[in-house]
């Protein structure tokens, strides 16, 4: 029987840690995944009194230090991480593998909190690691690390499906809008559109039934007075939720 820590090890083994181009292609989704990791890690650290170890730490050490990564998997992990660096990346990789072992072996009752390492594993799979200096440098996006307390009340980002994350990745400054009308509130809109401004050029796109962004005249026509269908600005998290729910509805996936 495969040990639960091995699939995590294999995910890390498959990461191309040197593919900077991939990191740039996925800079939006990687930034969102990092923010979600920081949120989840803050919740776990707060629950177990591990605030001093946050944000990039081995959570299992604070939950049940008696559980260790199996020796054979630990040895393979050493090889996978050889030369990867920096310390924050190595620590969280080891933490993710050990966390999987804890889930299988520990008798400690865990709180009802989301998987702490899944956003970070997804981030690694979309362009490798990061560096921490004055900012968190994701090789394409820079994130300022706020106080732990601010992440405790941050809105959750629960839509981690690769197709949803892909739909967030695009060049330029992006603003999302939900098309609303009677019976179609902000939480369940008729559709969503986005405006991208890149190198001084504006691109208006709608997320369509083809499950991709396609050019739309909606925003331009609305500005000209054709406003039978209204819209409101929404967050990236709200846009991702719509994309994922639409994808599931049209593909029959769960």
**pLDDT tens figures, 155-182:** 999 999 999 999 999 999 999 999 999 9
Q: Calculate mean pLDDT across residues 131-141.
A: 93
Predicted TM-score of the model (pTM):
0.95
Q: Are 238 and 193 in contact (CB under 8 A)?
A: no
Q: Provide the residue ranges of all domains of the chain, joining segments of one domain with +.
A: 5-152, 164-251
**pLDDT tens figures, 208-253:** 999 999 999 999 999 999 888 999 999 999 999 999 999 999 998 7
> How far apart (Å, rounded) are the C-alpha atoms in residues 46 and 38?
12
Q: What is the pLDDT of residue 52?
A: 97
What phi and psi, each to the nearest 5 degrees, are found at residue 74? -60, -40
> How far apart (Å, rounded) are the C-alpha atoms in residues 11 and 123?
11
- Strand residue runs (E) in the chain: 131-132, 136-137, 142-143, 173-180, 191-198, 201-207, 213-215, 230-234
């Amino acid at each position: 029987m495969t040990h639960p820590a091995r699939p995590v090890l294999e995910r890390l083994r498959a990461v191309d840690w040197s593919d900077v181009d991939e990191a740039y292609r996925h800079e939006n989704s990687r930034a969102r995944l990092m923010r979600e990791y920081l949120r989840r890690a803050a919740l776990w650290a707060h629950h177990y009194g591990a605030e001093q170890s946050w944000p990039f730490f081995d959570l299992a050490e604070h939950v049940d230090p008696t559980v260790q990564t199996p020796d054979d998997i630990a040895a393979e992990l050493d090889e996978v991480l050889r030369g990867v660096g920096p310390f924050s990346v190595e620590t969280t990789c080891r933490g993710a593998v050990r966390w999987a072992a804890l889930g299988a072996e520990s008798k400690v009752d865990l709180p009802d909190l989301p998987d702490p390492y899944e956003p970070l594993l997804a981030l690694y799979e979309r362009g490798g690691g990061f560096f921490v200096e004055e900012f968190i440098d994701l090789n394409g996006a820079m994130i300022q690390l706020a106080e732990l307390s601010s992440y405790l009340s941050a809105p959750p980002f629960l839509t981690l499906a690769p197709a949803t994350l892909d739909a967030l990745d695009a060049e330029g400054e992006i603003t999302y809008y939900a098309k609303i009308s009677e019976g179609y509130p902000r939480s369940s809109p008729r559709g969503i559109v986005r405006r991208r401004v890149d190198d001084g050029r504006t691109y208006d796109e709608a997320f369509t039934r083809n499950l991709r962004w396609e050019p739309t005249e909606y925003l331009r026509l609305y500005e000209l007075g054709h406003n039978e269908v209204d819209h409101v600005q929404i967050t990236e998290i709200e846009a991702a939720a719509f994309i994922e729910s639409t994808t599931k509805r049209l593909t029959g996936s769960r």
